Structure 1
Amino acid sequence: MKKRIALLMAAVMAAASLSGCGGGNTATTADTAAGSAADTTKAATGNESGDLKLTMCWWGNQVRNEKTQAALDLYTEQNPGTVIEGQFSEWSDYWNKLATSAAGQAIPDIVQMDYSFIDQYVKNGLLEDLTPYIKDGTLDVSNISENTMASGTVNGGVYAVCAGINAPSLLYNKTLLDKNGIVVKDYMTTDEFIDLCREVYKKTGYKTNIAYYNAGAYLDYFMRGNDVVLYGDKKMGGEEKDYLPFFQMYETGIKEGWFIDPGVFAELSIGSVEQEPLVYGSSPETMSWCAFYNSNQLTAMQKAAPEGMEIGITTWPSADPKKSGYLKSSQFFSVGAHSKNPKEAVKVINFLTNSSDANNILLGERGVPASSVIAKELAPKMSDVEQKVIHYVNEVVTPNCSPINPPQPDGASEVSNLLNQVQEQLCYGVYDAETAAEEFYNGANSIMSKK
């Protein structure tokens, strides 16, 4: 067991150093110091006054820290005799600390968990199965969709409850398109999207950026539309020919002129909202009418947009957008397997998930609340842009999507890097679509076979 934990620590530390999932959720130096000072070895024990003590850890920015601590304070106020110690850190430090506490069998009672790591933590016996607490009513998930619950389920057990919902989202320059009489529909097929790209280019001169050099998530989505799960057991899903249509989409845009010149990105920070060609650039030649992001990034994109530009939101295109579409948790709440009072920890998660009072404090900072009831309650209290995100997640994606794929296996980050390199060669004209599909498929299988 100790050897398995040591391997987990190494894997988590490596993954955390490469991941961008928490890049925008950084804590101050003081926050990190406070998190470091927390004594995780006293988790779920009684203090000198005889109160029940729980610990909860999370990563986040100062806004999240303040809101979460305020919600926990409210819980302890409403539940005399319970004390909750909050521990918070910057993203990469968080995973290092959590792996260390896991090795010492002192993992906190309540853990903020990420989709990338759930499988590893469950396999190493570090998270509590919440199924019994759902069955006995301690944890109410009746207002959470099946697809959302599926994202926290591993091997039939529920090990995590969604703390906020995201969905893949095509963000677009609604002002530009409305002005030119161009209509964007939800659930576009790939062919409809390509036709739209042609129309936009013909009428406005604006080009299209299809997740240039950041296409891993979109490839996964695209393949789901053709009934292909991207990753198999130490190999890629599907066959080489299944990947050809993805690269043909780029090839078509390059030949017809509507795909953005890759040279535009030479001096940009790829993945930066502020430098995204949707909102950044000096002319239609260097700008894109759309961008491939997640729904929780609409607010930041709208903030970065030039004055007078409204950003719209719709689904990513694929052969079958309803098969491709999924809900993705921005993060989860889990219970540590070492907790001496797991039921009390579950009660806190239930409070954060279902309490109107708690969510009036949290205000969807982690994403659209998993509970449809809470999400509807909060909507009138949020900005117009935030309400647009809630409507998109609940009314557009939720009724027309499929369960998310299993967590990505070891080697996925290397495969994504290979995809970026192949995509670059294709966009610069070094590869045609067939060569790109062959190079990617064979190279990706080589990577996965060694894991």
Structure 2
Amino acid sequence: MFSKKRVSAIVAVATGAAIVLAGCAGGSTAEPSATFDPNEEVTLDLAFWGNDVRAELYNEAIVAFNEEYPNITVNPTFLGFPEFWEKRQTEAAGGNLPDVMQFDYSYLRQYSENGLLLDLNPYLGNIIDTEPLSENILQIGVVGDATTGIPTSTNAWALFTNPVLLETAGVDEWEGGDWESYGDWMGEVTAGSGGAFWGGADFTGRIQNFEIQLRSEGSYLFSEEGEPGFDEERLAEFWESGADVRDGVIVPQQRVEEVTPKGAFDSALTASELTWDNFGAGYLAGLGESYTELGILAPPVTKEGAKDLYLKPSMLHSISSKSEHPEAAATLVNFLVNSPESGAIFGTNRGLPASETALEGADLDPLSQQVRDYEASIADRLGDAPPVPIIGYGTLEEKFRQLGIELAFGTITVDAAVSQFFSEMDVVLG
């Protein structure tokens, strides 16, 4: 989980990369060679972001890979997340990206549409095993008609709850229901806490909550072409739906600001939080030793039976379109994504494994098992993932969050917030 300072750095890097990568398009499709020799001595560069712990795990995975493919030498390098993308930006401009890269979803369209990533479709089902990966997961890495990334792990939108705070407030776990019933439940928690904490935060401050409501109505946030699936009236309706909880039910925004860079949930100021299900470990670490477990529930329902939720990748693996050894690179990607050895080595370091064979090899801690059970429990609400995020999505997501904060403070009207967001969309979407 990144601090707000690091998120800001990421947005800045993305903006700069969009400028540098323009006009770098090149060939991105290569057929598996009919003369490919699996015993040929080749060297691949592998780049990933992370820390020393993840680096050691990759080193272990490379050792295991070389037991099966001793002829393929893998040279790994790693950086922190912002530095990783600064380096890729420079390499992309020079046409020398690493053969295999750990990839982030928010950059996939930008690099794919500039012809920088290899189309993996010719390798699916032969070099890259697709049996352990569901069609929903495989579709996550598709930009246009090309598969340019294979997810290593998945997460889904979820509702975390704090059992300790609920017991203190004398309120049972939320039983599920619509957004109004969730608001009522938050009110019960806030009332039961005696002013010590609150039931939750303003759910209208997160663009993902707006997205799942749109999906339940058969719409979307943004189409493949970058067209919004909503108008000013629908956005105003969403933000106005938070008026009741903003009136004394949710944590005051001033209290949230006081605990920054931590959040309200991992500061024990709120008993619930809507976010991605891979945030749990970070929450427990932030809460401290007095808190040993979390609840993980499905988000509120807008329309019964709708496929409003979806799996998105915690990260993906991609191959440079200029790799001189695409078959060997695809072999490495297959091992890192699908092999039981990789699952056993990484566990949930990269998120819950997307591949069934890798998941079978992973030793899941109790929270990771909860996440696995949660994702299985929402199978009937899982629909196709939306198109890969449009270029500039991160900027719009941040604008949405900032306007949500102003609404929580009461320093802006809903109409003004809607006007500002659509003005920002005009700029970002061109």
Task: Go from structure 1 to structure 2 and tell me whether the alpha carbon gap of 1:114 and 1:211 turns closer, same or farther (over 3 Å shift).
Answer: farther
Task: Tell whether 2:146 aligns with 1:157.
Answer: yes
Any idea what the Cα deviations from partners look like across 1:365-397, whole Å, max 9, x if unmatched?
10111112432442xx2321222122223x123
Secondary structure of 1:323's match? coil
Task: Tell whether 2:246 aligns with 1:246.
Answer: no
Match for residue 63 of structure 1 among 46, 53, 71: 53
RMSD across aligned C-alpha pairs, in angstroms?
2.8
* 2:13 equivalent in structure 1: 14
Task: Tell whether 2:254 aligns with 1:267.
Answer: no
Contact in 2 for aligned 1:12/1:117 (Cα 8 Å):
no
Contact in 2 for aligned 1:251/1:427 (Cα 8 Å):
no
Task: Go from structure 1 to structure 2 and tell me whether the alpha carbon gap of 1:88 and 1:430 turns closer, same or farther (over 3 Å shift).
Answer: closer
Secondary structure of 1:143's match? coil
Contact in 2 for aligned 1:327/1:398 (Cα 8 Å):
no
Match for residue 393 of structure 2 among 398, 403, 412: 412
Query: 1:194-233 to 2 correspondence within 5 Å?
Result: 194-205=183-194, 206-210=197-201, 215-231=206-222
Shift of 1:354: 2.0
CA distance in 1, matches of 2:85, 2:411: 40
Match for residue 182 of structure 2 among 181, 193, 199: 193
Letter in 2 for 1:15: A
Query: 1:69-148 to 2 correspondence within 5 Å?
Result: 69-135=59-125, 137-148=126-137
CA distance in 1, matches of 2:165, 2:131: 41
Secondary structure of 1:404's match? coil
CA distance in 2, matches of 1:421, 1:357: 43
Letter in 1 for 2:153: G
Secondary structure of 1:301's match? helix
Shift of 1:432: 4.8
CA distance in 2, matches of 1:95, 1:411: 15
CA distance in 2, matches of 1:361, 1:63: 11
CA distance in 1, matches of 2:175, 2:368: 20
% same residue? 24
* 2:368 equivalent in structure 1: 386
CA distance in 2, matches of 1:158, 1:140: 14
Q: Which residues of structure 2 form unaligned runs of 5+?
A: 1-9, 18-39
Task: Go from structure 1 to structure 2 and tell me whether the alpha carbon gap of 1:363 and 1:412 turns closer, same or farther (over 3 Å shift).
Answer: closer
Task: Go from structure 1 to structure 2 and tell me whether the alpha carbon gap of 1:70 and 1:199 turns closer, same or farther (over 3 Å shift).
Answer: same
Task: Go from structure 1 to structure 2 and tell me whether the alpha carbon gap of 1:195 and 1:213 turns closer, same or farther (over 3 Å shift).
Answer: closer
Shift of 1:236: 3.5
* 2:423 equivalent in structure 1: 443
Contact in 2 for aligned 1:173/1:289 (Cα 8 Å):
yes
Q: What is the TM-score with the length of structure 2 in the denominator? A: 0.82
Shift of 1:214: 6.0
Task: Go from structure 1 to structure 2 and tell me whether the alpha carbon gap of 1:447 and 1:236 turns closer, same or farther (over 3 Å shift).
Answer: farther
Task: Tell whether 2:297 aligns with 1:314.
Answer: yes
Contact in 1 for aligned 2:185/2:199 (Cα 8 Å):
no
Task: Tell whether 2:228 aligns with 1:236.
Answer: yes
Query: 1:173-192 to 2 correspondence within 5 Å?
Result: 173-177=162-166, 180-185=170-175, 188-192=177-181
How many positions carry a matched residue from both structures? 394
Contact in 1 for aligned 2:202/2:245 (Cα 8 Å):
no
Letter in 2 for 1:343: E
Shift of 1:60: 0.9
Task: Tell whether 2:379 aligns with 1:401.
Answer: no
Secondary structure of 2:184's match? helix
Secondary structure of 1:408's match? coil
Q: Which residues of structure 1 form unaligned runs of 5+?
A: 1-10, 19-49, 282-286
Contact in 1 for aligned 2:133/2:355 (Cα 8 Å):
yes
Letter in 1 for 2:86: N
Any idea what the Cα deviations from partners look like across 1:121-148, whole Å, max 9, x if unmatched?
111111111111114x211121212221
Match for residue 326 of structure 2 among 327, 335, 342: 342
CA distance in 2, matches of 1:130, 1:81: 22
Shift of 1:441: 4.9
* 1:29 equivalent in structure 2: none
Task: Go from structure 1 to structure 2 and tell me whether the alpha carbon gap of 1:88 and 1:101 turns closer, same or farther (over 3 Å shift).
Answer: same
CA distance in 1, matches of 2:416, 2:246: 14
CA distance in 1, matches of 2:202, 2:16: 22
Letter in 1 for 2:220: V
Any idea what the Cα deviations from partners look like across 1:213-263, whole Å, max 9, x if unmatched?
9623333334333333223556533122211332123211123x2122111
Any idea what the Cα deviations from partners look like across 1:285-334, whole Å, max 9, x if unmatched?
xx211123221211121222244433111233351485331111111011
Contact in 1 for aligned 2:171/2:188 (Cα 8 Å):
no
Letter in 2 for 1:316: P
* 2:405 equivalent in structure 1: 424
CA distance in 2, matches of 1:436, 1:260: 23
CA distance in 2, matches of 1:63, 1:76: 20
Any idea what the Cα deviations from partners look like across 1:339-378, whole Å, max 9, x if unmatched?
1121111111111222212321122210111112432442
CA distance in 2, matches of 1:437, 1:226: 23
Which region of structure 1 is more displaced relative to structure 2, 436-445 or 330-339? 436-445
Task: Tell whether 2:43 aligns with 1:53.
Answer: yes
CA distance in 1, matches of 2:270, 2:244: 16
Secondary structure of 2:307's match? helix
Secondary structure of 2:222's match? coil
